Structure 1
Amino acid sequence: MRETIARESLEDALGAFRSLDFYVVMFGLALCRAWIVLCLSAPFVVSEIGVSDWLFLIPGALSTLAAAFVAYRVAQRARFDRRFKAITGAMVGVCVLGSPVVVLGQSTIGMVAFMVLSGVASSCLQVLWGVGFARRKASFSLYCYPSSAIVTAVLVAIVLFEGGLLAFCLYPIASFLLLLVSTSKSTGVELADGGDTASGDPAIERGESTSGRKPLPYHVIGRLLVSIVIFSFLCRMYDALPSGGAVDPLSAIGGSSLFALVVTGALFLVFSVLLGRVFNPLFGYRIALPLMALGMAIVSLFFSDHWYLSILLIGVGYELFDTLTWILLVALAQNQQVRLSQYVIFGLGTAATMLGMGIGYFAGGTVRESIVYGSLQVSSIGIVSVMVLVVTAFLVLPEGTFAQLAGRRLFDRDGGKAIVREADAAGNPLETGCDAIADEYRLTPREKDVLLLLARGRTLAIIMRDLGIAKGTAQTHIENVYHKLGVHKQQELIDLVESYVGI
């Protein structure tokens, strides 16, 4: 069984890497992300003119939020798609043509306008790439997004070493042109079922569910968006903190933050290739949180000596979370349980990321001044950050909510339809869903029996009676099931089962 899954995962990966569309999308998104990173790190923008990074990020967040609102209200998605793409292309063109004049002219007003327009254009371009991912198979993002992270780091490192302005003209226009190529029907890309906005199904066009499943509550998606804001805020706030005199040993290859992008992309890509058919996003979420917490703890204890190590760990943890949230957004955009269009999903997701980063840079600058003047200790920042991270992990986005968002069936090669077909054929979808969960999470036969009873709403006393086991044994099995599935209460378990198969 495991050998078969591993072989099929490898076949999926090889199929993706052999596709020309894979490289078009990978380089296109990487160029867009590199453009964003360069705008935030360009020394001639920040140091000489004094323009802050949040002037780039906040307008980008507001523009994509507005785009999500318009996409939610509009009735004809195909027309919105064409107009949004045309407006984005026009803004990209203005940025490309105006960037040399603005930068060489060294005008404060011109630089502010350039940063604002670049933030809006790059954010809208990222939304378009997200929609492009959502129109492909869900497993596509498992390989393409981490690969694009590695390419992004390489593209940024090349420009930082050269220090030229050419990339500000080349990267955005190249990304937009690749977007046009990737969305052209002539590329022969195999779109995911129901992924195209022009599907012809009125229910899908309205973003309504046609599967008969209970719609995913909006507050669950809201929790994900809030957590994106918090994680982005924490990570970017640390980028603005003083180094405390420590020398970054990775500065020769772009610094710890850029190296974190390569490490995360490479490791995620390896795990995606090995575990593509049994990919569990919850596992990555459990790794991202401790990595960020460890980096923040180092800030509290050894920041002056190991500044680069704390930034590296926080960066790896955040990039891992960012990769997982991108994949979740792709899955949500393809999920007919979510009555929101692809533009709404990625508009909100991009807005949350940009908003968190913008607030983070703004707060980081304020904190930096307080630390320099001695009115605030770095250790206090680390302690407060760990507390915020813990509160987020337990109250805003607990593992049960994350598991509900990351329904495993969304990452199957056929979009989970095989499980649904098996459930319909068996006539008992609940048992089929529990069997699929038990196989994925490696439950024992007895734990699978307990899982089925819990999914039916049975209490501890009923489980003891039906299975003929003692109270302590039943409690142990229930705790083991909850632990393996990453849930904390019975309703979260039921929601997870329902995310596998429509009940």
Structure 2
Amino acid sequence: MEALGEKRPAGAVRGFAALLLVLGATSLMNGSIFPQFDAIFMFARDISVTCSAATLLGLGLAAYRAPHLLGHRAVTGSAVACLIGGGIALAIGLAAQSPAALVAGASVVAVGRAAVTVSVGLYLARLAAHGAGLAIAAAYTVQLAASPAAAAVPPQLGTALFLAFPLAALALSAGGARSFFEDSRGRPSPSDMSVTRPASFLAPFSALFGCLLLFQVAFGFALRFDEVAGAPRTSFFSAVPLALVALYVVFSRRRFPADGVVQLSALAVMAGFLLSAQPLLATGGPAADVALLNAGNGLFSMAAQMALVAIAARNPLGAITTVAWGNGVSALGSLVGAAAGMIANGATEGNPLLRAAIPAALLLVFAAYVMVGLKRFTFADAIDGIEPVADEATAPAAAQTPEEAFAARCEAVADEYALTPREAEVFAMLARGRDRSYIEEALVVSRNTVKAHVKHVYAKLGIHSHQELIDLVEG
């Protein structure tokens, strides 16, 4: 077995493809599958989403309390069985217009999709920080840009793709996720370890998960409020802000700007609610309220996924809990928001004044949460606050010398900013206070070569002085 926390080779392109397949299945579900449900049994969609949320929360709780119950083969095999068996029942329910078969099939498929979501999240946690950021930013951008096309997919084709995408995502991600299940074997549960190492594990009701829940309530509301023929309103322009973030990640070697993305997300969501509360501005035009709401929630989902992946990477023993519980809380928030959207739709039919009042009330609640609830919370602090749990069989944290701890920090920074092996050597020497003459002699290279390496290191780290470099390592 590999040492705890050791990264296996994993490709950002593979991670991008796996995540895009999961997100694509979600777009097809909302735009193509769920509208078919309404003609047979309208509550089938809510039951299936509830099953997905319950499965994710159940996996997260099991991984937190009794991780030995979650074998990789059992989880993967169950996911495949659910997707195939549930898919058959779902197809029968749609063809025969059978509510019982439809609910059973959709619910079983939802269980399988939940397991696939965890598998893909764990695979992304195997990537270097920059690679994970690229995969996540690109996948969410493409998904949001293509989501308007989901409603135009023929029903039978949409159903087939909805069932095939998760299976393909599982095939791409299962190998990379395996080590997280193996790491948990023979070790105490995270709930036990968190007693003595509280900074290493996220509590189930931490501020991060509360943030995920409330933002996803806004997403669920946007999904169902003023929906057309059972399908959510969409706009291609929603993807523009996400594309800008993706370009930033591509051309910048700095850390993924999670908190900046969340702030941009909050502005977009509040602007979307404001337009929703002003019918004269929102109707008859290019659905600017929808574009803003979907963009805001897409931005937040991108940042939240990156936060969950980064936390899982810092502590592999808590990775399954973090990914499963985080996605479960998000699904629960979407469910609550969707219910609010449905209630709002029904209320506005009899009283048009509520068409403006309901979004205005949600705007007030959301703004209050952003200004008060998130005043002292940042994603960066949530990630950096997780203390990695070292493999006690090889390198217990308590046994690390100061030099070993310093070397580990240098290695982590080099990995985060995608430094080359030689740049990482130069960076470590600079962090120890070595001058360029020392580096020239130690590496047996010319002065100009050293200058070039130092220049590249400074550029990738986004710094301009030696003191900034030292502060980065110590911070």
Q: Spell out the pairing of 1:349-498 with structure 2 (5 A cutoff).
A: 349-374=326-351, 377-398=354-375, 400-407=377-384, 412=413, 414-415=415-416, 425=432
Inter-CA distance 208–132: structure 2 relative to 1 (3 Å threshold): farther
Is 2:91 the partner of 1:90? no
Aligned to 2:53: 61
Counting only pairs closer than 5 Å after superposition, residues 2-401 of structure 1 correspond to structure 2 as 21-41=11-31, 42=33, 43-51=35-43, 53-76=45-68, 80-153=71-144, 159-184=150-175, 196-198=180-182, 215=199, 218=202, 222-242=206-226, 257=234, 259=236, 262-301=239-278, 302-306=281-285, 308-336=287-315, 341-374=318-351, 377-398=354-375, 400-401=377-378
Report how far residue 340 of structure 1 moved: 5.3
Q: Which residue identity lines up with residue 224 of structure 1 in the other structure? A: L
| TM-score for the superposition, normalised by structure 2 | 0.72
CA distance in structure 2 between the aligned counterparts of 1:161 and 1:411, rounded to whole angstroms: 46
C-alpha displacement of 1:317: 0.9
- Letter matched to residue 367 of structure 2: V
Residue 76 and residue 242 in structure 1: after superposition, are their counterparts in 2 closer, same or farther (change >3 A)?
closer
Task: State the 1:237 CA deviation.
Answer: 1.0
* Deviation by residue 1:77-129 (Cα, 9 ceiling, x = unmatched): 8x622211111111011133233211111011222222222322222211111
Counterpart code for 2:217: F
Paired letter, 2:54: L
What's the C-alpha RMSD, in Å, of the aligned pairs?
4.3
Distance 1:385 1:111, change over 3 A: same
Offset at residue 278 of structure 1 (A): 4.2
Worse overlay, 298-307 or 402-411:
402-411
Q: Which amino acid aligns with 1:366?
A: I
Distance 2:356 2:169 in 1: 45
Which consecutive unaligned segments of at least 5 residues does structure 1 have? 1-18, 248-253, 427-435, 453-496
Identical aligned residues as a percent: 16
CA contact (8 A) 2:64 2:318 kept: yes
* Residues 1:354 and 1:411: Cα distance change in structure 2 (over 3 Å): farther
TM-score under structure 1 length normalisation: 0.68
SS state of the match for residue 12, structure 2? helix
CA distance in 2, matches of 1:327, 1:99: 32
